[in-house]
C-alpha cells in the first residue's frame, strides 16, 4: 500500500507535521528578518527569495522520494507450503511509502510493515496502483484479519485489534491459498 499501506491517520499527521516543520523553518527566517528590523527593499526581496528557495529545495526532496517506488531489504516468510519474499518496511518513511507507485508485483512477493509496539493499524491506498490484500498479524504471525484494498482509494482498512505487523500481498493472494484469520505466517521476523 502506499502506506501505501500506512495507517491513514499516521500518514496524514506525518505529512502535516512535515509541512508544519517546513513552514516553521520559514517562519523562523521571517521572524529573524521580520518587521522589527527595518530591511532595505533589496534585502527584503533577497530574504524572500532565499526563503522560497530553501522551502522549495527542502520540500522537493521529500516529494520526489515519495513519487518513486522504493526497494527494501527482504525476508522470507511462509504460509503453510507457500514461500513469500517480503520487503520489510520498518521506519516511518518506509511505511509511509509502502508499495506506492508500483505497476506490478511478483506473485509470491509482498511487503511486511513492522511497528515498534502494538497499535490499531489502518492502511489506505493513496498512490498505490495495484490492488492488494492486507493481513494484520499478531506477534507470533497469527492472522487477525484480512482486508481487500482497491487501488488509489483513501478508504481505511484497519486491524481488528492492536498489532505490530501487517503483510500486503497481491489482491486475493490469501483467499486463493485458503488462508484465513487464525492461520499462521512464519518467519524469523516474528522471533
Residue range 122-139, pLDDT digits in tens: 999 999 999 999 999 999
Number of Cβ within a 10 Å radius of residue 146: 19
- Could you give the CA distance from residue 25 to residue 166 in angstroms, rounded to a whole number? 35
Cα(10)–Cα(113) distance, integer angstroms:
13
Indicate if the pLDDT at residue 21 is higher than 70. Answer: no
Whether 164 contacts 133, CB under 8 Å: no
The values of phi and psi at residue 78, to 5°, are: -130, 145
Query: pLDDT per residue over 69-112, tens digit each?
Result: 899 999 999 999 999 999 999 999 999 999 999 999 999 999 99
Asked if residues 149 and 155 have their Cβ atoms less than 8 Å apart, the reply is: yes
Q: What is the CATH number of domain 74-190?
A: 2.60.120.1140
40 — pLDDT class (breaks 50, 70, 90)? low
SS3 98: coil
Contact 75, 61 (CB under 8 A): no
Name the grid cell of 13: 499527521
Amino acid at each position: 500500500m502506499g502506506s501505501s499501506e500506512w495507517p491513514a491517520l499516521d500518514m496524514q499527521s506525518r505529512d502535516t507535521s512535515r509541512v508544519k516543520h517546513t513552514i516553521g523553518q520559514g517562519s523562523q527566517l521571517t521572524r529573524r528578518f521580520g518587521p522589527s528590523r527595518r530591511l532595505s527593499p533589496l534585502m527584503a526581496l533577497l530574504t524572500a527569495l532565499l526563503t522560497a528557495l530553501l522551502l522549495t529545495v527542502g520540500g522537493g526532496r521529500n516529494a520526489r522520494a515519495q513519487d518513486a517506488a522504493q526497494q527494501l531489504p527482504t525476508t522470507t516468510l511462509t504460509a503453510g507450503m507457500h514461500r513469500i519474499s517480503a520487503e520489510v518496511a520498518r521506519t516511518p518513511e518506509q511505511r509511509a511509502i509502502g508499495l506506492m507507485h508500483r505497476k506490478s508485483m511478483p506473485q509470491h512477493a509482498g511487503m511486511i510493515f513492522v511497528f515498534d509496539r502494538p497499535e490499531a493499524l489502518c492502511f489506505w491506498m493513496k498512490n498505490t496502483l495495484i490492488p492488494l490484500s492486507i493481513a494484520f498479524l499478531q506477534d507470533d504471525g497469527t492472522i487477525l484479519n484480512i482486508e481487500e484494498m482497491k487501488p488509489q482509494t483513501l478508504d481505511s482498512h484497519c486491524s481488528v485489534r492492536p498489532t505490530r505487523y501487517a503483510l500486503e500481498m497481491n489482491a486475493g493472494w490469501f483467499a486463493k491459498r485458503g488462508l484465513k484469520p487464525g492461520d499462521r505466517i512464519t518467519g524469523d521476523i516474528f522471533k
